[in-house]
Amino acid sequence: APLPPYRVLTGLVDRFGRTQTFHREAAGEFSGEITGVTDGAGRHFRLVLTTQAQRAEEARKQHTASLFSPDTPRPLSAS
């Protein structure tokens, strides 16, 4: 279940004492969303968030580019 607005998850510690710290976006469209995780070994993982509209636009661009790519096989015309 989602946490109430006044409670924000900042990290986790497992039963072995290993930690994960969550980093949140400070401003912008994804303000408050988790955009990174640091583990107990100090490794940092960046999470990239996108909207459905951004994913649709990227898919459209890839499709359009593939239509004009010289590597795209073309069907042979029956003449």
42: in domain: yes
43: in domain: yes
The residue written with tokens 């994960």 in the block is: 20
Listed in sequence order, the residues at least 6 apart from 13 whose beta carbon sits closer than 8 Å to its beta carbon are: 19, 20
Number of domains in the chain: 1
Which neighbouring-strand residues pair with 34?
24
Domain that holds residue 31: 11-67
* pTM, full prediction: 0.58
**pLDDT tens, residue by residue, 13-46:** 999 999 999 999 988 888 889 999 999 999 999 9
76: in domain: no
**pLDDT tens, residue by residue, 37-70:** 999 999 999 998 888 888 899 899 988 888 776 6
34: in domain: yes
